[in-house]
Each structure stands twice: as C-alpha cells, then as structure tokens.
Amino acid sequence: MAVFPSPLESAKFIADHSKDVSVDEDGARRVAESLFDKATAAEFGLAGWKSLHELNPRATDKEAVDWVFLVDTLNFSFWSEQEQQKYLVKYKDKTYSGYWSLCAAVNRALDEGIPITSASYFATMTLDQVRHVFRSDTEVPIPLIEERHRVLNESGIVLLEKFGGSFLSCVKMSEKSAQKLLRLILENFPSYRDEALFEKKKVSFYKRAQILVADTWSVLEGTGDGSFDDISSLTIFADYRIPQVLVHLKAMKYSEELMKKLREGTIFQSGDKEEVEIRGCSIWCCELICKNLKELYQKKGQDTHEKINAVLLDYYLWDYARDHREEMKDIPFHRVRCIYY
Ligand SMILES: Nc1nc2c(c(CN[C@H]3C=C[C@H](O)[C@@H]3O)cn2[C@@H]2O[C@H](COP(=O)(O)O)[C@@H](O)[C@H]2O)c(=O)[nH]1
C-alpha cells in the first residue's frame, strides 16, 4: 500500500523549518477577525461555488461530476510571462483569463458538440484535437499544451479501465469520505501526486487532488454521494494565488532575498526549497486563520460546523485575489511551470 504523506503534517513541518517564508500569527489572527462577519454571508458558503461562478455546472448529475474531473485534471499553470500577452478565451460574448479561460474552453467545446468531458473521448484525444479545444483568442496558446494532452489521455484510460468511464464511480467508492476519495485519486491518477522532498523528508501538497474532492463536494452541493462528513479534514489548495493574497493581507512574509527573486520574475522549478516553503507556509497559515475563525465563532456561541473549513476559506481567498488584482499587483506570485497547480 503506497504511503501518501498528509498535506497538513507536511505544512506544519515545512513552516517549522522554513527560512525564506514565515507565517505571521498576529497577521493570521487579524485576517480571521476581518473575515469574521463575512464568514456567515452567502459568498462564503458552499452555494457560492455555483451562484458566484457562471461557468460552473448548475446540475448535480454524472455529467456535472465528469465536468469537474476534466477541469481539475487540467487545473494548472495559467500564468503568462508578460501580463499583457496572455491566453484568453471568448465565450458567450465574455473574455476569460486564467483558470476561467480553461472552463470557458471546455464549455465552448461542449456547445460545439465535442464530448470533451467523456473519458472515452479524452482517453484517445490527439494533440491536434487538444489544440483545437483549448485554442486561444489571442496569439498566446494555453501553457503546457503537450502535458495537458498527456494527462488527458492518461486519466481517461484509467477512468475507462477502473471506473467504468466516469469519475462518479470513483466518488461512490469513497463512501462519502473525503479522505478515502483523496486516496483513490492519488492511487489511480499519477498526475495528481503533487509531492516534494524537503529537509530529506517526503512532503505533499496534493493541490489538484484536494481541489478535485472539494469541487466534487461543491458540484454535488454537499448532498448524496457528495455528503463528505470529513470535508473539513482537507487543507487549502497550494496554488500560486493564495500565497500572493496571504502576503498582501500580511498573514505571511517573504525574506528580502526571496522577495527580490520573485520581483525579478525568477522561474523556480517544482520542488525548489523556496517553492516548497511558499506552498507549505500557505497551507499552515490558512490552518491558523481557520482555527482563529472557529474560536471567534465559539466565543459568540455560534455553531461553525460546515460553515468554516479550509475549503470555504480557500474559495473565498481565491475569489478575493481575483477581485483585487489591481491592489495586489505589487506582490509578485511565484512562477513555476508544472502540472501540479
Ligand atoms: N487555491 C485555489 N487555487 C485555484 C482555485 C481555482 C478555481 N477553483 C474554484 C474557484 C472558483 C470556482 O468555484 C472553482 O471551483 C483555480 N486555482 C488555481 O489558481 C491558479 C489560477 O489563478 P488565475 O491565474 O488567477 O486564474 C492556478 O494555479 C489554478 O490551479 C481555487 O478555488 N483555489
């Protein structure tokens, strides 16, 4: 049986040994206080996944679950070298960038009658078909198109061979446990094994695997096969936006030398010490924010069950980063080209 380190334990270990990134406990407490009133509002809740995001599926059926699987299999590396030169997709008279450009391209393909979310289709897609589905509305193509082709074929074949062609079968096998679904994903889909070596120890982040579980919970509206009783055991998803917003909100800090490298646009490799510290401290920082938020609610005698967890905090912070691009422009995000986030 394969050993998959826990992202939470990894984050604690990394935060305890980190040199260039630090979690600011007072800053984390202040962020929790500022979120306190918002946390019971609609946009913080599970329903926001659909109500705030027009490209996400409305349904809670097999096709909606397969949409989530396809999108999260490709949910990585949308950043561009030049902010002005980037991959964009126009869909229904709106132009989308970043993660939303991926969703727009998927919905555009479905509208064109291309069964892009069906394993039987993406298991044998050619590179040219992938290029067509994810074509850009600028001269900048989607990053890592060859890797996207490879992970699509690989994941489609596993779905066909082991799960009858639908991720819903995998969800049913998890018997309403988020941790069991996480393990099934890691055991069967190699491209989701987002791990690194840090201070000679194997650590994990599992960003796409954890967000796949979270998005499955969201698209099923926390009901039926998606009523995971341990959804609060997930951590936030260590991408390249959450660290940026945590530094902006002064809950996390970079050393001068790291800030200099980031400002120069240094491209890091997946697994580099700085990259691991940024991602691990982000997860740990959000655990502290979550803990503080729960304490604030307990003080007020309010029940926080299912209202406050790392998933909902992550979604909120990610949307916040989207909506505050301008204010955050002097905080650089770390640049890695990889299939993990
Ligand atoms: N931590 C975290 N990272 C997330 C997401 C999402 C979108 N997911 C949900 C959000 C709304 C919908 O409800 C989706 O279900 C994408 N990313 C990451 O961000 C990066 C792209 O950023 P930008 O270049 O600005 O589009 C890239 O690494 C991508 O992997 C999230 O939620 N949390």
341 within ligand 1 shell (Cβ under 6 A): yes
Average pLDDT value over all residues in the chain: 96
202: CA distance to ligand 1 center in Å? Answer: 25
pTM: 0.97
Report pLDDT for 305: 64
Report pLDDT for 304: 72
Distance (Å, whole) CA 167 – CA 160: 10
Distance (Å, whole) CA 109 – CA 132: 9
341: CA distance to ligand 1 center in Å? Answer: 9
Q: Which of 46, 97, 99, 194 to mutate to test the pocket of ligand 1 (most atoms within 8 A of CB)?
A: 99
Least Cα distance to 20 among 213, 268, 188 occurs for 268
| Beta pairing, strands 267-268 & 335-336 | parallel
Q: What is the mean pLDDT of residues 78-101?
A: 96
Specify the DSSP class assigned to residue 94.
Answer: E
Report pLDDT for 300: 84
Q: What is the mean pLDDT of residues 175-198?
A: 98
Over the stretch 44-75, which tens digit does the pLDDT of each residue have?
A: 789 999 999 999 999 999 999 999 999 999 99
Is residue 89 very low, low, confident or very high in pLDDT (cuts 50, 70, 90)?
A: very high
Which H or E run contains 111? helix 98-111
CA atoms within 13 A on the CB side of 90: 3
333 within ligand 1 shell (Cβ under 6 A): no
Its ipTM equals 0.98
49 within ligand 1 shell (Cβ under 6 A): yes
Is residue 306 very low, low, confident or very high in pLDDT (cuts 50, 70, 90)?
A: low
Flag whether pLDDT at 41 surpasses 80.
Answer: no
Least Cα distance to 46 among 254, 229, 339, 311 occurs for 311
316 within ligand 1 shell (Cβ under 6 A): no
Which atom belonging to ligand 1 lies closest to the Cα atom of 48? 13
Which atom belonging to ligand 1 lies closest to the Cα atom of 49? 13
99: CA distance to ligand 1 center in Å? Answer: 6
Over the stretch 104-152, which tens digit does the pLDDT of each residue have?
A: 999 999 999 999 999 999 999 999 999 999 999 999 999 999 999 999 9
110: CA distance to ligand 1 center in Å? Answer: 21
Is residue 42 very low, low, confident or very high in pLDDT (cuts 50, 70, 90)?
A: low
Flag whether pLDDT at 83 surpasses 80.
Answer: yes
Report pLDDT for 18: 98
Report pLDDT for 301: 83
Report pLDDT for 129: 98
Least Cα distance to 129 among 118, 139, 138, 336 occurs for 118
Which residues carry out catalysis?
Answer: 239
299: CA distance to ligand 1 center in Å? Answer: 32
Report pLDDT for 307: 77
194: CA distance to ligand 1 center in Å? Answer: 16
Map residue 124 onto helix, strand or coil: coil
Q: Which of 56, 95, 239 to mutate to test the pocket of ligand 1 (most atoms within 8 A of CB)?
A: 239
Which atom belonging to ligand 1 lies closest to the Cα atom of 236? 1
87 within ligand 1 shell (Cβ under 6 A): no
Q: Which of 241, 287, 311, 329 to mutate to test the pocket of ligand 1 (most atoms within 8 A of CB)?
A: 241
Comparing 82-91, 238-247, 271-280, 300-309, which segment has the lowest mean pLDDT?
A: 300-309
Report pLDDT for 43: 65
Report pLDDT for 147: 98
In this structure, are residues 237 and 214 in contact, taking their beta carbons and an 8 Å threshold? yes
Residue bearing the CA closest to ligand 1, atom 10 = 315
Report pLDDT for 302: 80
In this structure, are residues 251 and 31 in contact, taking their beta carbons and an 8 Å threshold? yes
Over the stretch 159-179, which tens digit does the pLDDT of each residue have?
A: 999 999 999 999 999 999 999
25: CA distance to ligand 1 center in Å? Answer: 25
Residue bearing the CA closest to ligand 1, atom 24 = 98
Which atom belonging to ligand 1 lies closest to the Cα atom of 239? 28
